[in-house]
Structure 1
Amino acid sequence: MKEILEKYKKEKGGEMSSYLLEPTRKQIKEACLWLLDRRKEKYDERILERFFKFKEGENKMYAIERVKGDKFKPIVNFLTGETKSTTPANLELISWLIDFKPRPLSIYLGSISKEEEIIQRYDQSKRQLAHLKKEMGITEIPETKVIQENNKSITIISQINPSLKITTIVSL
């Protein structure tokens, strides 16, 4: 809760600051509608389903539009400091709204599966490669491929130029 609230206060809602700077129930709903088709990371749909409790095959935009504003009141109260805590479903929706990572809470709190850990390490390797490219003054984007993957490791090869290839092996 603390880290999510700190990010919110520091960035004033970040990309969503026009909705979240001084949040109201209506603005929270509008932010959800605006982000629905724009923010679709791996677990985001599950976060939305947990909060909104969509029915099978239901149009999500229409379902959110029908939600009464009272459902967003605890979120407003938490973001404005009227309450010091809120439910996990509310926290996950807030983390989605402000793009807090990693999300959902189960990943943030450390219950990471092997697949999720591989994905995180792969992303870290890509960041390290970007840093190395910057240090070497390389401006083109190298071709990067996963050449081997199993439940214990992932091997990535990046070709910087015809004579320089970087192989990264991430082990679990």
Structure 2
Amino acid sequence: MNQKTSLTYKNEILEKYRKEKGGEMSSYLLKPTRKQIKEACIWLLNRRKGSYDEGILNRFFKFKEGENKLYAIERTKGDKFKPIVNFLTGETKSTTPANLELISWLIDFRPRPLSVYLRSNHPIHKPLEPNQNTIYANNEVEIPDIPETKVIHKNDKSITIISQINPTLKITTIVSL
């Protein structure tokens, strides 16, 4: 198992971006511009709210106490996004930690932020192709990149999975077969 570092975090984020071209946000990130990065942030602001995402946004945008975040993003000058565009297009090989965290949020890289990534106990591996998973002899299904995930019930018609994303958030998923 390779050790996770800030360098592997950066490389895995770039790999996910190059492979998926922004995934759900590809209409903004396929050929990113400063304006498209800003518009993606505005679009995602109230849609992507993971437990650490507010901190990622606060670190990048430096919101003031009680400030309207949407208005603050709209007022942000395009130059703030130029280093992100340069990094995603390969014009630069590195970027600031705040920029990298914003990219991880934009492309929905998990686990994020870096502090969570470094604590995650999953080995570094290539992501599985969609609709692929590994089934072990005891009929448990490995769910990659989700911390503390267990199959708690399985029968011929469904699988019940429980995931503990952080100490206060547990998600139960039932998948019909």
TM-score by length of 2: 0.69
Tell me, yes or no, if structure 1 residue 51 matches structure 2 residue 21: no
Q: 2:78 aligns with which of 56, 69, 76?
A: 69
Contact 2:28 2:40 in 1 (8 A): yes
Structure-2 separation of matches of 1:141 and 1:7: 28
Tell me, yes or no, if structure 1 residue 110 matches structure 2 residue 119: yes
- Listed as ranges, the gaps of 5+ residues in structure 2 are 1-9, 122-145
* Large movers: runs of 4+ above 4 Å: none
Q: 1:76-115 maps to which residues of 2 (within 5 A)?
A: 76-110=85-119
Structure-2 separation of matches of 1:23 and 1:9: 12
Higher-Rg member (1/2): 1
Structure-2 separation of matches of 1:37 and 1:103: 18
Cα RMSD of the aligned pairs, angstroms, is 2.7
Identity of aligned residues (%): 74
- Listed as ranges, the gaps of 5+ residues in structure 1 are 113-118, 161-172
Amino acid across the alignment from 2:82: K
1:6 — aligned with what?
A: 15
TM-score by length of 1: 0.71
Aligned length: 134
Structure-1 separation of matches of 2:30 and 2:18: 9
Structure-2 separation of matches of 1:54 and 1:101: 24
Structure-1 separation of matches of 2:30 and 2:120: 32
Deviation at 1:140?
A: 8.1
Task: Name the SS of the counterpart of 1:120 in structure 2.
Answer: coil
Deviation at 1:111?
A: 7.7
Q: 2:156 aligns with which of 106, 118, 137?
A: 137
Amino acid across the alignment from 2:157: I
2:27 — aligned with what?
A: 18
Amino acid across the alignment from 2:147: Q
Q: 1:157-172 maps to which residues of 2 (within 5 A)?
A: none
Deviations 1:17-68 (A, max 9, x none): 0000000000000000000000000000000000000000000000000000
